[in-house]
A and B are shown apart, each in its own frame.
Chain A
């Protein structure tokens, strides 16, 4: 069975400092992994995806994530937080059929000015 665990329900960073949002996955095969961002009262927007190509994936708005099979992790990072990054972030894994997407419980990112 596939699942994801987001290790932090809430992360606070100061503006201009690095962001690290942690995600571990469980999958019996090489998974597809995604990060989504949800701003208040908005839908979910795709930040980046990993689909067995390069293990370091670059996304929009300066975010990137590294797939580490040995650690079953797919952590999201950004070198310098911006106020507009304050949002809810979801790590998602897709099953082999691609029919089902398994969501983490989300990490709320607060950016302190």
Chain B
């Protein structure tokens, strides 16, 4: 009965490859996010979708492309992976209708290592 689930948990790949991370939430939320956490634990917003519509698109290389087939899913595709992409990527969700009060609910993260 996991609320926000991400797959895979670990991802090790070589530079130049393309990879995807999947996220699903069963909380009935209508807004989903991708965050990147660097080695110093700093969390940076990458993207946010509300009902499949992109509402936040921070300064992220266009090698990163989010896709939301429905409001319960938000996937992240990364092209031409670089060493600097190594980080932990977190998916999160919240409820836009109650957005002022609704906290973020996080997945357990995907640790991406680019060699």
Contact = CB atoms under 8 A, between A and B. Distances in A.
A34 to B, nearest CB: 5
A18 B14 CA distance: 46
Find the residue from A44, A45, A49 having the highest chain B CB count within 10 A: A44
A83 interface: no
Interface string A12-36: 0000000000000000000010101
A90 B42 CA distance: 10
Interface of B: 4, 31, 40-43, 45, 48, 50, 55-56, 90, 92, 94, 96, 98-109, 111
Chain A binding surface SS class: strand
Contacts of A108: 41
Contacts of A45: 106
Contact of A106 (B42, B94, B96, B111): B42
Contacts of B92: 44
B56 A100 contact: yes
Given A42-B108, A43-B107, A43-B108, A90 B100 contact: no
Contacts of A72: none
A83 to B, nearest CB: 20
A84 interface: no
Nearest to B96: A98
Contact of B45 (A44, A98, A100, A106): A100
Interface of A: 32, 34, 36, 38, 41-46, 49, 51, 88, 90, 92, 94, 96-101, 103, 105-106, 108
A98 B103 contact: no
Contacts of B100: 32, 51, 94, 96, 98
A77 to B, nearest CB: 19
A49 B94 CA distance: 14
A98 B56 CA distance: 12
B55 A49 contact: no
